[in-house]
Amino acid sequence: MKAFDLARRGLIVSLATASGSGAVRVAAEQAQARAVGEGWFSAFGLKIRVEVSTSSTNGVMSATRVISPPGGGPPAHSHTREDEVFLIVRGRYRFWQKGMPTIDASAGSLVRQHKGMIHQYRNVSNEEGEHIVICLPGGLEELFAIVASEQLIVPRDMQRVIALSADYGIKYESSIAD
């Protein structure tokens, strides 16, 4: 059995509870009109579903499933609050971390982005990619839900995205992609 199957059947399934409460639940419900399937919503040009909410873990962590189109991924950025762990479920991704070698990751790979590290990633396959991003501590899924509920589109609404992201300790940087 592949590593991502174990994670999906073990870690993710055993921790999963009803997703969202408070601001996350409200934003996620508001995003239902734009849903792309049960529990899914759209933000940043990605399909997103909260698998494990921050509220269900008392703030310890969150896990969010993301489906990314070919070429999809965020601009370079850093987090002041959380580490991220990416579990690649399908597709091929490339990760850039400032001052570090480029990482190519396929299904079953785990990639950690440390708090404070300037990083970005991109789905480099010709098909949709899928990954689970685990945030330690949790909270980042709230930003995704707010972006979806406000129907923000990058680059058109980048100033609003930058302002919201700052509230979550995220700062955007110049590209570090090859």
pLDDT tens per residue, range 54-75: 999 999 999 999 999 999 999 9
Tally of helices (H runs) and strands (E runs) in the chain: 5, 11
Q: Is 51 exposed, middle or buried (0-12, 13-18, 19+ CB in 10 A)?
A: buried
Domains of the chain: 3-171 (2.60.120.10)
Mean pLDDT of the chain: 84
* Chain segment 30-57, per-residue pLDDT in tens: 443 334 457 999 999 999 999 999 999 9
pLDDT above 60: residue 174: yes
82, two tokens: 């959380």
Nearest to 44 by CA among 85, 65, 75: 75
